[in-house]
Structure 1
Amino acid sequence: MVRPDTVIVGGGIAGLVAANRALQLGLSAVVVEAGADENYLCNTRICGGVFHLAFQTVAQRPGKLRAAIEDRTFANADPEMVDMIVSNSARVVPWLTAEGVQFIRGGPEQYQFYTLAPPKWNRPGLDFRGRGGDVLLRRLIANFRHRGGAIIFNARATGLIVEGGRCAGVTVDNHPDIRARSVVLADGGFQANLNMVRKFVSTEPGQVKQRNAGTGLGYGAMMAEQAGAELVGLGAFYGHLLSRDALVNDRLWPYPVLDHLAAANIVVGKDGLRFCDEGLGGVSIANQAAKLAKPSEIFVVFDDMSWRGKPGTYHVAPPNPHLEREGGTVIRGDTIAALASAADIAPAALAQTVEMHNRSIRKDGLEVQAPARTTLRATPMPIVKPPFYAIPACPGISYTMGGIRTDRHAQVISRDGQPIPCLYAIGATTGGLEGGPQSGYLGGLSKSTIHGLVAAEQIARRRGSLNHHATQ
């Protein structure tokens, strides 16, 4: 094989955007993909398809977008990464559209303005063939091949070749080493590596539903760390609160999610006590639940108004009516005491927790609860109208938010604070933007697209070809 300008590890959206942009800029590129063939699973293929940043449209003006990112991350995002995202966000949809990717307006919220077409079916379960993310990957693969790029399947990169302080290629299972003038790590997070999840995310990974393609094993992060890279923010993940039955019933993931019910009401353990600030929203609740000693022994508790109203009937394949239709457990009681008995929750403690919740709403004293509750992401609803409900729940992990530290050009940063020459990382294998103490989520598809464009352009810049192809 002729030594390419870059070898890209991973064939998700980040890797394929980088690969296509590299060829646009006159570079040569090879993609190494662990999947067996072009129908390989990855998170992009099964994604929801919404291109947003901090729940703002990617076309949002920079000032408002920056404020939204700082708000969602509680100002914990690396300012250099924020600058990179804000200055490139407007390019996402035009570039993908030029590649033949189609968008529709996916819902009433402005952040849903750019949703992949055709959209996912509005029903539970993992049903993605011929829909948004699947179609996007097929288009980008076809474009890459048409431009002369090569994809090597059934080839997992396991190590970096470093010569003279520079990254010079990768070692690959089931394939000879691939030498290249640069390497781009784009193999996603480590969510499916249970040992890493146990170390950084949850001591009980078996009680956290793998709400993902099962392909994110963290090889990129481990390879980079062995080469001297700094890893940052490894404790947080993007995910949702799911029915506990999703652990054994595949019809209950990736949807319905319980986020809206949970954020508007309370989430308790078997002891009847709250353990998190529900007002921070579903991603935060899932992260806080994963830190518990028993993450799957939790319940979302609410009343009939919530079940029949927006919290219960909102979003993709909402829990009402889909959860029970697909075999999920919904426990009911005409009183809180009866509900506690049916759900095996400590009755006195649950009654006290519900009363405190209702009293705090009436008196606008949410902060006096323990733990304190905010209204940053959701407005709480009283739990007063019978029947009362409890749904056994568990956290579901879609992708980890921490990983390899990079700079604004997607260059990997070493533990001594300097770029590692010719080594880049993009998408969910990176850290420093999402996550943080409050698990701030920004939007994986948009982030990955921007990272891919930026990495390819930096490689071209260093090769001296960017100016010759800048308009492509």
Structure 2
Amino acid sequence: MRFNKASMAVAAAVMSVFALQAFASPVTTTGTGVGKDGEIKVEVTFDANRIQSIKVLSQQENPVLSKKVFTDLKDNVVKTNSADLDVVSGASFSSRGFLAAVKDAAKKAGVTLSKDGQKSLKKVSKAIPAKSGYDVVVVGAGGAGFAAAIEAKRTGASVVVLEKMPSVGGNSLISGGEMNVARNWVQPKLGVLDDSPERHAQDTYIGGDKKGDLSVIRTLTGRALETAKWARDYVGVRFEPDNLFMFGGHTRKRALIPVGQTGTEFITKLSAKADSLGIPVITNMKAVELLRDSTGRVTGVKAEMDGRPYEFDAKGGVVLATGGFGHNAAMVKKYNPSLDERFKSTDSPSATGEALYMAERAGASLVNMQYIQTYPICDPVSGTIELIADARFDGAILLNQKGERFVEELERRDVISHAILRQPGAYTWVLWNDKIGSVSKTVEAHPDEYAAFTKNGTMKTCDDLKCVADFTKIPYKNLKATVDRVDSMTGKGNDRDFHHRAGLVDLSQGRYYVVKAVPSIHHTMGGIRINPKAQALNAKGEPIPGLYAAGEATGVTHGTNRLGGNAYTDILVFGRIAGEAAAWDALSASYRNKN
């Protein structure tokens, strides 16, 4: 077949058009990065050297903490055509993993992204008026804050939640989430038939060296069951149906365990309930001062976002649910100099304590500030709680570098922490086997921790004790002797060495799990003085009108030491009390004004 020059020219032109179209067509590639809890995989579509869309194919990050990574940060990457952006505060590892995945996809596509993303990202003012009014203003979007807001709304009040972080949850999200409740619905299944709110109250009072306010403690334990049922039946929180934890310092097994064994179950359900009730939750909004009228009544909150001032008036009152100050190293050292730079923290970056001083300037009394708890079993690398080692509550033992037990594993957190610090190297090894693991289910419940701790070299799975000895460098002879002694004392009441209150469990058979642990700063018992009505009190013990507080921001519930499992009981019980009381204040004020 022959072609004349004209036809060849046409053909060449057509081919050129097709070539240009092919060059200009969108290109889609995948990229991967590593977040806090595993691999993040994205699919990115590019067109004309710009990002058109990003689809997250898979990720294992905490759904609450990472929410803004996969919404706001993702949108900003597309908007700026850049992966060089600031990370989301409180979700830095997730942010870096996501941004790395986008960069990986761009590299595969041969696309050069902008290096000036942060400069080109213009702050867009949200549709929030400079001044607004509500019946109740809640400061802090953790468990206590959500409980207060939900109850205020149910009572009939208008309510807003202010959260200084980009995401909700705070310490309530990253905790184990267990909740102590006497006479709960699981106890009869496990043969626990003689518990009571008063027994729980006495355990709490004695566990805090009798420094707590017994009237507040009795409110905590007396309303625990109704609050747990509220969480289960109204909020939708799921609990393990046939399992409880017995934390150190308790005389009965009474801690309900949320599905997943973290606070994520609570916060996702509380957040969803608040959303369904139409409660606005404003993130990145930092409260800076309490507003008061001429009589001293708290009437609202001054706040800031992106350097701009806002004012939220509260007809009924303000609920401070801002948590403690365990992530503020300078503040911790100020009140307890022994907790110096050696200690990492388990706490959320939000736990910095400024709101306590805000309350103090409004007349509130701060008490027990020197009582700061360390959690004994934490990751030596990051300082975070090793939830996987909650197997301790079902029989795991603590060993020092000599292979010796040195404390009762169910002792109070402060007692165990101090005992660990006295051991060679100031660390411990936590050892358990599949017999214990089948009850605790901690490895199953925390696969991310299992992978992370194994990868960083602080955890090992072994088929026999020789493997455990090789990994830990504990002399095998000593390790075997300790395990043999434990096996000779199994069952309740048989621990002749440390009187293990729940009874030791047989460790003669593997598979074994062992993880290294150190104490980290965990809970600040001090804070705003309150009464059983969650009212903030001044130095004379008088209520400050319009000011309520709940959760770790308060300072009279736990005395010198908080018992494990009491935090969620505390935040939900007093969060509900505070929200309802502030709402009734607002409704009463409206009634008085009308009449």
- TM-score bucket of the superposed structures, by smaller chain: 0.7 to 0.9
Q: Extract unaligned runs of 5+ from structure 1.
A: none
For residue 229 of structure 1, what is the aligned residue in structure 2?
365
CA–CA distance in structure 2, aligned partners of residues 139 and 405 of structure 1:
31
For residue 429 of structure 2, what is the aligned residue in structure 1?
300
Distance 1:74 1:328, change over 3 A: farther
How many pairs were matched up?
A: 434
Pair 1:195-2:327 in alignment? no
Pair 1:255-2:380 in alignment? no
Residue 6 of structure 1 deviates from its aligned partner by: 2.4
CA–CA distance in structure 2, aligned partners of residues 28 and 388 of structure 1:
54
For residue 316 of structure 1, what is the aligned residue in structure 2?
442
Instruction: State the AA in 2 paired with 1:316.
Output: T
Structure 1 window deviating more from structure 2 (397-406 vs 445-454): it is: 397-406
CA–CA distance in structure 1, aligned partners of residues 424 and 149 of structure 2:
39
CA–CA distance in structure 2, aligned partners of residues 8 and 185 of structure 1:
6
Instruction: Report 1:287-366 matches (<5 A).
Output: 287-288=417-418, 292=421, 297-300=426-429, 306-310=432-436, 314-317=440-443, 322=450, 325-330=454-459, 339=469
For residue 244 of structure 1, what is the aligned residue in structure 2?
380
- Partner secondary structure for residue 545 of structure 2: strand
Residue 428 of structure 1 deviates from its aligned partner by: 1.9
For residue 375 of structure 1, what is the aligned residue in structure 2?
500
Instruction: State the AA in 2 paired with 1:197.
Output: V
Distance 1:344 1:86, change over 3 A: closer
2:530 aligns with one of 406, 411, 420: 406
CA contact (8 A) 2:187 2:254 kept: no
CA–CA distance in structure 1, aligned partners of residues 324 and 537 of structure 2:
17
Structure 1 window deviating more from structure 2 (71-80 vs 402-411): it is: 71-80
For residue 179 of structure 1, what is the aligned residue in structure 2?
313
For residue 275 of structure 2, what is the aligned residue in structure 1?
142
CA contact (8 A) 2:373 2:524 kept: yes
- Partner secondary structure for residue 358 of structure 2: helix
1:305-360 per-position Cα deviation (integer Å, ceiling 9, x unaligned): x4343169734227999376444435899999x95x97577x8xx89x96998799
Q: Extract unaligned runs of 5+ from structure 2.
A: 1-130, 246-252
CA contact (8 A) 1:204 1:294 kept: no
Report the TM-score, using the length of structure 2 for normalisation.
0.59
Residue 256 of structure 1 deviates from its aligned partner by: 1.6
Distance 1:410 1:67, change over 3 A: same
Instruction: State the AA in 2 paired with 1:453.
Output: R
For residue 572 of structure 2, what is the aligned residue in structure 1?
449
Pair 1:74-2:200 in alignment? no
Instruction: State the AA in 2 paired with 1:133.
Output: F
Instruction: Report 1:30-69 matches (<5 A).
Output: 30-36=160-166, 39-53=167-181, 64-69=196-201
CA–CA distance in structure 2, aligned partners of residues 390 and 24 of structure 1:
47
CA–CA distance in structure 1, aligned partners of residues 175 and 464 of structure 2:
39
CA–CA distance in structure 1, aligned partners of residues 424 and 330 of structure 2:
17
Instruction: State the AA in 2 paired with 1:407.
Output: N
CA contact (8 A) 2:365 2:528 kept: yes
1:398-449 per-position Cα deviation (integer Å, ceiling 9, x unaligned): 5434322210100112222222222110112112223535x42343233222
- Partner secondary structure for residue 575 of structure 2: helix
CA–CA distance in structure 1, aligned partners of residues 301 and 195 of structure 2:
40
**Larger Rg over CA atoms:** 2
- Partner secondary structure for residue 105 of structure 1: strand
Provide the aligned C-alpha RMSD in A: 4.7
- Partner secondary structure for residue 224 of structure 2: helix
Report the TM-score, using the length of structure 1 for normalisation.
0.72
1:272-299 per-position Cα deviation (integer Å, ceiling 9, x unaligned): 8876543416x34564368x48997312
- Partner secondary structure for residue 317 of structure 1: helix
CA–CA distance in structure 2, aligned partners of residues 413 and 295 of structure 1:
45
Structure 1 window deviating more from structure 2 (11-20 vs 213-222): it is: 213-222
Instruction: State the AA in 1 paired with 2:519.
Output: P
For residue 18 of structure 1, what is the aligned residue in structure 2?
148
CA–CA distance in structure 1, aligned partners of residues 406 and 331 of structure 2:
24
For residue 582 of structure 2, what is the aligned residue in structure 1?
459
CA–CA distance in structure 2, aligned partners of residues 405 and 113 of structure 1:
26
| Percent of pairs with identical residues | 22
Question: Per chain length, whose mean CA-contact separation is higher, i.e. which structure has more relative contact order (CA < 8 Å, sep 6+)?
Answer: 1
CA–CA distance in structure 2, aligned partners of residues 151 and 138 of structure 1:
9
Distance 1:386 1:13, change over 3 A: closer
Residue 31 of structure 1 deviates from its aligned partner by: 1.6
CA contact (8 A) 2:292 2:299 kept: yes
Instruction: State the AA in 2 paired with 1:89.
Output: A
